[in-house]
Amino acid sequence: MIAVVFRFLMFFLVSFSVTAQTYPSKPIKIIVPFPVGGIADIYSRLIGNRWSEAFGQPVLVENRTGASGNIAAEFVAKSPPDGYTLVMGSLGTHAVNVSLFSKLPFDPVRDFTPICLALEAEGLLALHPSVPAQNVAELIALARAKPGELSYASAGTASHLAGERFKAMAKMDLLHVPYKGNVPAITDLLAGQTSLIFATMPTVLPQAKAGRLKALATIGTLRSKAAPDLPTVGETLPGFELNNWVGLFAPAGTPPDIVRRLNAETEKFMTSKEIETRRTNEGARFIPMTPQQFGDFVKAEILKWAPVVKASGAKAI
């Protein structure tokens, strides 16, 4: 019996090794939980192009939106663990949603194999130019004087959480207007349909630099190198901070050799000169992590944001 078990295990390990050596032998698909134009989509395509060059196989990016990213995450969690179907998860799908949703159709830790943290994206509080506030203190005073008249657009879990936390900490009332992605949210903000947004810098900073939006403050712990003259929201509301992140995940059980290869190729690209300047200008950071370190990071993020979601007043869905 022991010999039979041993032969089975050896066959299993050899099969995994052969699979990893021949990988990839067909197109790889990266599932993005959000619409075209957001950081998850942009960097999935950048990384996918590099993988395609390195592996000699097409890398397809597919946007599967809905349910704050849960539809895409569930699809990948239930896909074959062969390295050909991956998801560009986020702070929302793999850390916050577990506290925000009363029941998830997947477990963000148990059902995935972490590959790498793709990037951390600093956030920006931006206003429509018609809003008569020049700093965070003035915005808070204006919102308190006109409860419910100012609105904030959200484009996913992170921006929604930022808005709700801002409301709770500043003790004011803002109207929440949800969108399915950054592009429609920013489009309506540019048109004056909403008053403000908390968004990742790569998606909103160019509009602010062009004068089409008013950049008020960044929402990270420290001032950003991409906008060093802007204060943080936390300088007015101590304790307020939120940095969004996106990272690649495979279904649980994906061969470790494949995961390590994807991790190494992504790190090689994200630390290259061609992307480093772009990242810095857009307020995006890359922190090299092994798959194990990224897995530990995700677990820590889940624990970190659970009490924040509760304190923010955001209702479980």
For helices 201-209 and 39-55, what crossing angle results, to 10°? 110
pLDDT of amino acid 102: 85
- Whole-angstrom distance, CA of residue 282 vs CA of residue 233: 18
Which two tokens mark 309?
């979601």
Residue spans per domain, the chain: 2-121+244-312, 123-235
Tell me whether the CATH fold assigned to 2-121+244-312 matches the one assigned to 123-235. yes
| 149-160: average pLDDT | 89
The predicted structure's pLDDT at residue 272: 94
Output the average pLDDT for the chain.
Answer: 90
Contact 290, 115 (CB under 8 A): no
User: What confidence tens digit (pLDDT) does each residue in 49-82 have?
Assistant: 999 999 999 999 999 998 889 999 999 999 999 9
* pLDDT band of 16, cuts 50, 70, 90: very low
At 248, list the tokens: 């690649």
CATH topology of domain 123-235: D-Maltodextrin-Binding Protein; domain 2 (3.40.190)
Of 105, 116, 55, the C-alpha closest to 84 is 55
User: Out of 147-151, 202-206, 275-279, 288-292, which region has the weakest mean confidence (pLDDT)?
Assistant: 202-206
The half-sphere exposure of 121 on its side-chain side, counting CA atoms within 13 A, is: 27
List the one residue out of 287, 290, 286, 284 whose CA is nearest residue 263: 290
State the pLDDT at residue 317: 59
Alpha-carbon distance of 24 to 19, in angstroms, equals 9
pLDDT digits (tens, 9 = 90+) for 236-287: 999 998 888 999 999 999 999 999 999 999 999 999 998 998 888 888 889 9
Tokens read off for 295? 């897995």
281 to each of 53, 109, 158, 226, how far by Cα in Å? 25, 32, 21, 5
Q: What are 118's two structure tokens?
A: 């793709």
Q: Which two structure tokens, joined as six digits, stand for 229?
A: 């003259």
pLDDT attached to residue 242: 87
Q: In CATH, what class is 2-121+244-312?
A: alpha beta
pLDDT value for 316: 55
Could you give the CA distance from residue 44 to residue 38 in angstroms, rounded to a whole number?
10
